[in-house]
Amino acid sequence: MSVRSVLPAKCASVSSQGERDTLVDADEFAAHVVRYAYPAALVAGARAAADALLALASRGVAPFVVQDRDTALAGLAAQLRRDALGTP
């Protein structure tokens, strides 16, 4: 099973390689954290989301099951804004 993120290409995604799920581009994200001074809340939210994706992938569960891609992306963008601002 291959799990692909609906996030923009520059965001990390999960990829299944054989029996092991891996986080792709985590090193690039870490470099961007420093370069662009990402807020701690955003970094924590991204890491929590990555952990959740890896947990789902390890169980063989597809994390993004949506009927409408635009609705899914709008919801994701809203959640990222809330996470960045530290609001529920």
Check pLDDT > 70 for residue 13. Answer: no
- Provide the whole-model pTM: 0.53
Which residues lie closer than 8 Å to 52 by C-beta, 6 or more apart?
Answer: 63
User: What single DSSP character describes residue 37?
Assistant: T
User: Tell me: the pLDDT tens digits for 22-56?
Assistant: 788 889 999 999 999 999 999 999 988 888 888 87
Residue range 74-85: average pLDDT? 83
Question: b/e map of 35-56 (b: 16 or more CB within 10 Å)?
Answer: eeebeeebbebbeebbeebbeb
Three-class SS of residue 4?
coil
Q: Which residues pair with 15 in a beta bridge?
A: 22
Nearest to 46 by CA among 58, 33, 55: 33
